[in-house]
């Protein structure tokens, strides 16, 4: 073969490789589109305890079984919740209020009392009265009573003071807090099925207007109810070896009243794409796909169940890759490493170098990778660079705006392909 023919042969071979890679990516994009359409349009809202949540876990399990993965589905006893609205009146004036998610309903009349600080709350008698919380005391969402992963002492103190004070009901005037409550305005100060004081929430600006009713009788109705239900945690494995396994996770649930495209339909979709991309690989590296049910639910039942099932075995996990918020229409995909051993950190940098659409991201902790980090497991949190950089100002997650209009399907496919490439590079690397 002369030099000219050799040159043309190499060029043609390179072009064929690029064409196959592009064809592969197009196929992955198409499958990503199908999965996301099913999860976010056909099924839609996937609140824990709701029928959409059960449909989603059934859909995911069906896909995994068709791809040859061994699946384990475990039931969770949870609370579904419904509200037909709420109303608040004072001397004929109406104020817009919303039932707090998972709150008990009520129909009460009583004197309105208002507090804006913990110090004022501790000095106020609000027994058998309707209590308005506003100002500094409502700047951040209160951790659920029994939430095991984050429960500040000041939140516990607030809840205890309210329960001991025994008000008829709570009215919570709130603003924005995207870092904790997502893009919802106003946000519910309480979202807790273990907290039994009925509550509603309203915009902070309406709370200012309501202050004129302090000392007067107000009428509050919240048509809310709790419903005992069942949900499912879903785990898939390529084999039964647990030692040195790689756990790739995403939460399947959504907040109430959102189709949850970015949070977290894209994460679930990426796991399904990986289930197909990885099924023909050898099984030298045990892989576990964890579809957690409860990240956006007050009691995180799926995460707690997983920790219980793996008690004493969390040290067997080589690495967690958690996907949450990936595939946003703006910006790139970011991989945020936490406590990676040197060999895995080197491999990650190789993947990022080879894939310009993937970048190293800033550290963030508002996701399921935190439960692995808290138990000594290294992790990589995968999300959208735009979201991580705008976490405290974005107005999309936890709202109806989080639909397929904000998804870049190509970014979803690139994310799955990047993780698959990372896994391919570490299959032969021993732990440590």
What residue segments make up the domains of the chain, in order of their start?
24-69+238-426, 80-227
Which pLDDT score is estimated for 294? 95
* CB 114, CB 270: distance < 8 Å: no
- Rounded to an integer, what is the distance from CA 430 to the centroid of its chain? 32
What value, to the nearest 5°, has the Cα angle with vertex 402 and ends 205 and 266? 150
Which pLDDT score is estimated for 392? 83
pTM for the full model?
0.90
What single-letter DSSP state applies at residue 129?
A: S
Write phi, then psi, for 224 (nearest 5 degrees): -120, 150
Three-class SS state of 290: strand
Question: Which strand (E) or helix (H) includes residue 199?
Answer: strand 199-203
Which pLDDT score is estimated for 427? 81
CA-to-CA separations, 118 to 50, 162, 168, 174, 187, in angstroms, rounded: 36, 10, 19, 16, 19
Please list the residues that pair with 197 across neighbouring strands: none
State how far the Cα of 294 lies from the Cα of 273, in Å rounded to an integer.
Answer: 22
Biggest CA–CA distance in the chain, Å, is 97
Tokens of 87: 């109303």
Which pLDDT score is estimated for 430? 61
First to last CA, the chain: 47
DSSP assignment of 219-285: EEEEEEEEEEEEEEEEEEESSS--TTEEEEEEE----TT---IIIIIHHHHHHHHHHHHSTTS-SSS
Tens-level pLDDT at each residue, the chain (432 residues) = 444 444 344 334 433 433 444 558 999 999 999 999 999 999 999 999 999 999 999 999 999 999 999 999 999 999 999 999 999 999 999 999 999 999 999 999 999 999 999 999 999 999 999 999 999 999 999 999 988 888 899 999 999 999 999 999 999 999 988 777 778 899 999 999 999 999 999 999 999 999 999 999 999 999 999 999 999 999 999 988 888 899 999 999 999 999 999 999 999 999 999 999 998 766 678 999 999 999 999 999 999 999 999 999 999 999 999 999 999 999 999 999 999 999 999 999 999 999 999 999 999 998 999 999 999 999 999 999 999 998 888 889 999 999 999 999 999 999 999 999 999 998 867 655
* CB 333, CB 415: distance < 8 Å: yes
CA-to-CA separations, 346 to 282, 426, 428, in angstroms, rounded: 22, 10, 14
Q: Does domain 24-69+238-426 have CATH number 3.40.630.10?
A: yes
Query: What CATH topology corresponds to 80-227?
Result: Glucose Oxidase; domain 1 (3.50.30)
HSE (side-chain half, CA atoms, 13 Å) at 422: 29
* CB 275, CB 238: distance < 8 Å: no
Which pLDDT score is estimated for 20? 41
State how far the Cα of 86 lies from the Cα of 217, in Å rounded to an integer.
Answer: 17
* CB 371, CB 317: distance < 8 Å: no
């Amino acid at each position: 073969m002369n030099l000219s023919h050799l040159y043309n042969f190499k060029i043609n071979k390179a072009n064929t490789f690029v064409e196959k890679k592009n064809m592969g990516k197009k196929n992955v994009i198409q499958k990503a589109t199908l999965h996301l359409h099913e999860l976010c349009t056909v099924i839609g809202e996937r609140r824990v305890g709701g029928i959409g949540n059960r449909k989603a876990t059934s859909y995911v399990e069906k896909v995994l079984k068709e791809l040859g993965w061994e699946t384990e589905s475990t039931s969770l006893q949870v609370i579904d919740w419904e509200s037909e609205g709420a109303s608040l009146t004072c001397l004929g004036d109406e104020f817009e209020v919303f039932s707090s998610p998972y709150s008990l309903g009520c129909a009460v009349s009583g004197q309105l009392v208002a507090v804006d600080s913990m110090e004022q709350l501790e000095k106020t008698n609000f027994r058998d009265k309707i209590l308005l919380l506003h100002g500094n005391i409502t700047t951040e969402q209160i951790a659920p009573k029994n939430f095991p992963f984050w429960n500040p002492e000041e939140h516990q103190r607030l809840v205890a003071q309210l329960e001991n004070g025994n008000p008829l009901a709570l009215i919570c005037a709130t603003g924005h807090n995207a870092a904790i409550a997502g893009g919802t305005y106003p946000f519910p100060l309480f979202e807790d099925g273990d907290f039994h004081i009925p509550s509603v929430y309203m915009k902070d600006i309406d709370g200012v207007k309501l202050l004129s009713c302090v000392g007067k009788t107000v009428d509050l109705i919240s048509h809310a109810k709790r419903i005992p239900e069942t949900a499912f945690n879903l785990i898939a494995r390529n084999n039964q070896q647990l030692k040195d396994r790689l756990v790739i996770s995403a939460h399947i649930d959504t907040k109430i009243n959102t189709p949850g495209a970015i949070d977290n339909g894209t994460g679930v979709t990426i796991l399904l794409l990986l289930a197909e991309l990885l099924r023909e690989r050898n099984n030298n590296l045990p892989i576990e796909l964890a579809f957690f049910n409860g990240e956006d639910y007050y009691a995180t039942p799926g995460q707690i169940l997983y920790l219980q099932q793996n008690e004493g075995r969390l040290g067997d996990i080589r690495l967690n890759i958690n996907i949450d918020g990936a595939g946003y229409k703006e910006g790139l995909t970011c991989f945020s490493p936490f406590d990676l051993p040197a060999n895995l950190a080197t491999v990650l940098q190789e993947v990022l170098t080879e894939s310009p659409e993937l970048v190293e991201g800033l550290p963030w902790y508002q996701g399921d990778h935190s439960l692995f980090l808290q138990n000594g497991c290294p992790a990589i949190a995968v999300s959208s660079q735009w979201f991580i950089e705008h976490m405290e100002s974005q107005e999309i997650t936890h709202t109806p705006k989080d639909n397929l209009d904000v998804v870049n399907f190509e970014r979803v496919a690139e994310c799955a392909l990047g993780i698959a490439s990372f896994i391919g590079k570490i299959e032969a690397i021993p732990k440590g």
